Copies of this chain bind each other. A is one copy, B any other.
Amino acid sequence: MSENNVVTACCLIIGNEVLSGRTKDANLGWLAERLTDMGIRMAEARVIPDVEDVIIDAVNEAREKYTYVFTTGGIGPTHDDITSFCVAKAFGVKIHRDPEAKALLESFIRPERVNEARLKMADVPVGSILIENPVSKAPGFQMENVYVMAGVPSIMRAMFDGLAQGLVGGKKMNSIAVASYLPEGAIAAPLSAIQDQYSNVEIGSYPFFRDGHFGCTLISRGTDMDELEIVAENVRQMIRDLDGEPIDEDMITPADAGTSKDY
């Protein structure tokens, strides 16, 4: 745990296919939500290609800088799956065929189909701890503060659910959302004044468009719920002062998020 009890994470999404646009990432948003719920702050996410040096550098930079590092992608049986190899190199250790992982795979794969490529999925860095894969057996692994998971969303999620109990979160970031049909440009100055007054609270403004009207949701985030309540009440009063009506709700939905055209 780092100072001030702020626990941070970095997510490394590994895969050429995400960078080419062919595959749309479905892991980042899910992980971000889960980590936030656990009091772990995702401080950065990177999408990087299946290139050895790039992966090694990103892993080493991230594991130094953040409490936890989560990687997704590149741990299958084909030649373009190089994540395990790269993580071993990042830590300066060798890859070995983990006996437990090998036994797991051999119990799952029909005997006539066991081959070198399939068993490659039991190759993990020396000193790593296996991460269970309840979906399809081939494990991920943990190497110090780096957690290596599959890219397939259903498998990644199952792996994360298993490893989550071993993570130590910091103080949970709470949030209070107050929306109104006032546009951002109308509230910007008084909102900034509130932000200046409460430096422990982070206030974000997110525009929306709903039922033919523009507005924005103001989200106050912080660890101290009492202070958050005070800030939220300030936000509500500001809205009333501008002849708006505060709504205690997040008015952004995936469908209308970011469609505001008014300021």
| A interface residues (Cβ-Cβ under 8 A, vs B) | 16-26, 28-36, 41-50, 54, 76-80, 109, 113, 115-118, 120-121, 135-136, 138, 151-155, 173, 175, 184-189, 191-192, 195, 202-207, 219, 221, 250, 252, 254, 257-263
Q: Which residue of B lies closest to A114 (CB)?
A: B185
The answer to whether A47 touches B44, judged by C-beta atoms less than 8 angstroms apart, is yes
Which of B35, B153, B192 touches A258 (beta carbons < 8 Å)? B153
A-B complex: 4 closest residue pairs judged by Cβ atoms? A117-B188, A21-B32, A21-B33, A152-B258
With A117-B189, A185-B113 as contacts: A18 and B44 at CB distance below 8 Å? no
Contact of A78 among B23, B29, B192, B202 (CB under 8 A): B192
* Complex-state Cα separation, A153 to B256, whole angstroms: 10
CA distance A26 to B116 in the complex (A): 39
B23 engages A186 (CB within 8 Å): no
List the B side residues contacting A23 at CB < 8 Å. 206, 252, 257-258
Contacts of A49 in B (CB 8 A): 43-44
Tell me how far the C-beta of A257 lies from the nearest C-beta in chain B, rounded to whole angstroms: 6
Bound complex: CA A54 to CA B42 (Å): 14
